[in-house]
Amino acid sequence: MLKFFKTWTLPISMCAGAIGYFLFANVSLLAPTKPFMFTLIAYLTPLLIFAQLLLTFCKISLRELMPCPWHGWLLLIQLGSSLLLAALLLWLPMSEEYREVFEGAMVCLICPTATAAAVITGKLGGSASSLTTYTLFSNLLAATVVPLVFPLVEPHAGLTFFAAFLMILGKVFPLLLFPFFLALFFRRFMPAVHRLLAGFKDLAFYLWAVALAIVTGQTVRSLVNSSADVYVEILIALGGLITCAFQFYYGKRIGTRYNDRISAGQALGQKNTVLAIWMAYTYLNPLSSVAPGSYVLWQNIINSYQLWKKRKKEERELATSA
């Protein structure tokens, strides 16, 4: 049963989130508790993300964190592409529907690397340590850029830019960076706690599954409550596909120049989509969360194809050697 759940975690979690929304959103007996439930979910998602990052960073040794030349190029792409879309949103007149498309794509670009990317990288034969280093750098970049850009792109009613900047900074910066510093603190001053957290082999995986179900429910809620046409929702999902293909392609292309094609491709292409959905739903137009929601599917299709291709290659090599 456990093996089945691990194999089909993605569809199970997404279906659970979608079904859960339809089961509980329309139950009249729960109507008085709806605000409480939505508030609980709003706080639960970042806590789950924080816990995943903490468990991941507890498994990292500082000796493994070595910068590579391709890290700088990928950070430049992550920053430049997201700022380009932000500039288009600020300077080009466009309808609200098309703003949602660009906002969704922007979130997919600025979002940092997934914590699980190191696992896929290792299975594909790449360097998990260099990817983990980039994960830390991309978290730092996102924690800095998101509070600066999001209030400009989607102003909050009744809040000045500086107030909105401080509000987002106070939530995103600690969420993305404190887990790393807390892991270092535990390693140095509380080694027993550090060993305990590092020993939880699959806990981060299950936390990811729960968080994915929650943010899927939030995305479905955005779709149900949105007045946008179906073609707009399709365009937002296509925006997720385009950004996914763009990042995998250029990540692999740059990585090839530095003999680290697999690691660079996964570093830029495999995103922390749970975080991306949460940021889009919380700080931008909620419908824009459809883009990172679709990104979950696109990146897993690419990862599945890469793993299948590698397995076929190994089978051919084994048959040849035999």
Task: Write a three-state SS string for 84-107.
Answer: HHHHHHHHCCCCHHHHHHHHHHHH
Backbone angles phi, psi at 97, to 5 degrees: -60, -45
Closest CA to 224 of 31, 12, 18: 18
- The residue ranking higher by pLDDT, 72 or 216, is 72
Nearest to 52 by CA among 220, 252, 294, 273: 273
Q: Of 119-128, 235-244, 299-308, where does the model show the most confidence?
A: 235-244
* Residue predicted with more confidence, 223 or 98: 98
Task: Say how far apart CA 126 and CA 212 lie, in whole Å.
Answer: 26
Residue 126 has pLDDT above 90, yes or no: no
CB contact at 8 A, 42 and 282: yes
Check pLDDT > 50 for residue 30: no
For residues 6 and 261, the model is more confident at 261
74-106 per-position pLDDT tens digit: 999 999 999 999 999 999 888 888 899 999 999
Residue that wins the pLDDT comparison between 2 and 187: 187
> What whole-number distance in Å separates Cα of residue 128 and Cα of residue 147?
29
Question: pLDDT, tens digit, for every residue of 162-210?
Answer: 888 888 888 888 888 899 899 999 998 999 999 998 888 778 777 877 8
**Does position 28 have pLDDT exceeding 50, yes or no?**
no
Give the percent of the chain with pLDDT over 90.
Answer: 36
Q: What average pLDDT score do residues 57-73 get?
A: 85
pLDDT band at 223 (very low <50, low <70, confident <90, very high): confident
